[in-house]
Amino acid sequence: MLDESSYLTAIYIYVGSASVLLMYLAWWLSRHWPSSWVALVVLLMAALLLTPAYPKVAADTMAPALIVAVFEIMTTGVEGANDALRPLIFMAGAAIVLALLLRMTLFRRHKK
């Protein structure tokens, strides 16, 4: 089991590396895709990578919900992963709504 210091270090490393991955993905996709599609993909990836969930019902610490969901599906099935899938689905939906709002406001095409 991790103590508080090593748990925080692991979380900082995970969030930092996920943030670097998201920035690289945004930079790479922005060279090839329109801005609205880049926003959608990057926001969805951020929702999948950065959403936290409790690994067990009585747990004091959190873990990335995607990792918890994958392990729970592999060990107990889909019904065991509901506690991790619910926040993932909610955050993915929020990312899609935010991407649509960005598309309608900041990234809309201007008619000349």
pLDDT of residue 108: 81
The CA distance from 72 to 67, in Å, is: 9
3-class secondary-structure state, position 33: coil
Q: Tell me the two tokens of residue 91.
A: 């955050």
The CA distance from 88 to 2, in Å, is: 25
pLDDT of residue 3: 84
Stretches in the chain below the pLDDT threshold 50? none
pLDDT of residue 90: 96
Q: Using CA atoms in the order 35, 41, 45, 48, what is the torsion angle rounded to 10 degrees?
A: 130
Give which of 35, 74, 80 is closest to 53, Cα–Cα: 80
pLDDT of residue 1: 63
Model pLDDT for residues 73-105, shown as the tens digit of each residue = 999 999 988 989 999 999 999 999 999 999 999
